[in-house]
Copies of this chain bind each other. A is one copy, B any other.
Amino acid sequence: MTPASPREITHHVKRFETPPVPAIDAAVHAAALRRLDLLTKPLGALGRLEPLAARLCAIQGTLAPLLTAPQALVFAADHGAAERGVSAYPRAVTAQMVANFLSGGAAINALARLHEVPLWVIDAGVAASFAAHPLLVDAKVREGTRDYVVEAAMTAAECTDALDRGVAIGARAAAGGSRVLVLGEMGIGNTGSAALLMHGLTGRALDSCVGRGTGLDDAGVRRKIALLEAARARAPAVTEPRDLLREFGGYEIAMLAGCLLGGAAARCVLVVDGFTVTVAAALAARLQPAVLDYCVFAHRSAEQAHRALLQDLRVEPLLDLGMRLGEGTGALLAVPILRAAVALFTQMATFESAGVSGQSAS
C-alpha cells in the first residue's frame, strides 16, 4: 500500500456514505464445497479449513484463490476518558507503543516479520506528534477523542472523517494489489469505548460488555464499569451505529469500521483480531451486513466480552490461545491457517488423479 497522505483524504462530507459491499459468489462457494469432497481425504476431515477454503473462493469468485500481498494495518488512537484511569496503563503508552511499532520491537512486528506480512501503522488520532516514518500513515483526525463521560467523543464531522479515511485506506490497499487485510489496533482505554459500543449495538447489559482490558484487577473493573455507566447515562437512547461512534467511539475504531467496509467493497479478505476490532466489525455489519462474509475471525480474546460478541455475530474464531494483546497479533497468527486452507484446496490430489480408493459404502 502506498500510505495515504492526509492531504489526499481530508475531503469532508456531512454524512458518511457506506460503500456498497458485493455479495460473495454463491455458485463458486457451492462448487468449492463439491471440489473439497473429491480430494484425497475422508469427507470433511479437514474440519474448519474446508468451509474456510470455500469462503475464500467465494470472496474472490474463483476456484483458484490467491492470498496476494496481505497487509497488516494497525490503527492507533487515544481516548479522552483514558485520563480517568480506565486502563492499567497511562495514556502515554499509546504513543510509546506506536514508536515501538515503528522501531520494530512490538509483538506485532515479530509476527509480521515471521509471516512476511508488511505492517502499516495508522495514526487515527494519537495524542502526540510523530516524525514522518516510512511505516506510519498519518490519518490523524484529532489528538485523542473528547471525554465521553461529559460530552460526545467526537463531532459528527470528525466521525465522518474517520470512517471515510478508513474506507480510503482499505480501498487503497486493495487498489495496490492486496487481497488480505489483517486488522489490529492500539489505544489505551479503547476496550472501554468498545464496551460502550457493544452495549449500544447489541443491547447486552453494559457490565457484561466490560473486561479487564490490559490487566485491571477487580476494583479496577468496578471503576471502569461505573465510569462507562456514567457515560452511557449521558446519552442512554442512542443505538444507531454512527451516532454510537460519535458519542462513545474512538478514532481507531471508526477508522477500522470504515476500512472493513472499504476492504469488503473491494472484495478483500478481512482478518479480524480481538475484541476491539470485532466491535468495529459489528458496527460495520450494522451499516452493511454483507461485510461479515468477508471477515475471518482470527481468535477468541481472553477479554471476556469477546466471547459474547462473537456469539451475537454467530461466528467462531479460528484460534483460542488465551491472548489479549490486540495490535493485530491474533489476526496475524491466523494468517498461516488461511494460507494452509488455500494450499490444501489448490494443491491436493483428487482420489481419481492419485489412484486412491474412495470411501466404502457402509
B357 touches A324 (CB 8 A): no
A313 at the interface (CB under 8 A from B): no
Looking at the assembled complex, report how far the CB atom of A315 sits from the nearest CB atom of chain B, in whole angstroms. Answer: 15
Of the residues B100, B322, B324, B354, contact of A349 by C-beta under 8 Å: B100
Is the CB of A318 closer than 8 A to any CB of chain B?
yes
Bound Cα distance A109, B42 (Å): 16
In the complex, the answer to whether B110 meets A348 with C-beta atoms within 8 Å is yes
CA distance A96 to B351 in the complex (A): 10
Give the interface of A toward B (CB within 8 A).
39-49, 85, 88-90, 92-93, 96-97, 99-100, 103, 105-107, 109-111, 113-115, 214-217, 219-220, 302, 318-325, 329, 333, 336-337, 339-340, 343-344, 347-349, 353-360, 362
State the Cβ distance, A69 to closest chain B Cβ, in Å.
17
The SS class assigned to the A binding surface is loop
CB of A324 within 8 A of CB of B360, answer: no
Q: Which residues of B contact A47 (CB under 8 A)?
A: 302, 321-324
- 6 A-B pairs (CB sep. < 8 Å): A46-B329, A89-B357, A115-B336, A217-B362, A319-B319, A336-B336
Q: How long is the Cα–Cα vector from A109 to B216 in the complex, in angstroms?
A: 45
Query: Are A97 and B46 in contact, with the CB atoms below 8 A?
Result: no
Least distance between A74 CB and chain B CB atoms (Å): 14
Partner of A41, one of B107, B115, B321, B357: B107
Beta-carbon contact of B357 and A106 below 8 Å? no
Chain B residues whose C-beta falls within 8 Å of the C-beta of A97 in the assembled complex: 40, 356
Chain B residues with CB under 8 Å of A43's CB are 215
Question: Which of B96, B302, B360 touches A356 (beta carbons < 8 Å)?
Answer: B96
By beta carbon, the residue of chain B nearest A320 is: B320
Closest to A51 in B: B322
Greatest chain B CB density within 10 A among A90, A92, A215, A320 is at A215
**Interchain CB contact (< 8 A) of A359 among B88, B113, B333, B347:** B88
**A302–B41 Cα gap in the complex (Å)?**
14
Asked if A114 and B40 sit within 8 Å, CB to CB, the answer is no
In the complex, the chain B residue whose C-beta lies closest to that of A323 is: B47
| Chain B: minimal CB distance from A134 (Å) | 19
Bound-state Cα–Cα, A107 to B49, Å: 11
Residues from chain B with a CB closer than 8 A to the CB of A329 are: 46
B46:A325 contact, CB within 8 angstroms: yes
CA distance A90 to B321 in the complex (A): 38
Other A-B contacts than A110-B343, A111-B340, 4 sampled, CB-CB below 8 A, are A45-B324, A46-B323, A110-B340, A113-B343
Q: In the complex, which of the residues A93, A217, A220 has the most CB atoms of chain B within 10 Å of its own CB atom? A: A93
A93 to B357, CA, bound (A): 6
Q: Which residue of B lies closest to A358 (CB)?
A: B89
Across the interface, do A340 and B114 meet the contact criterion of CB distance under 8 Å? Answer: yes
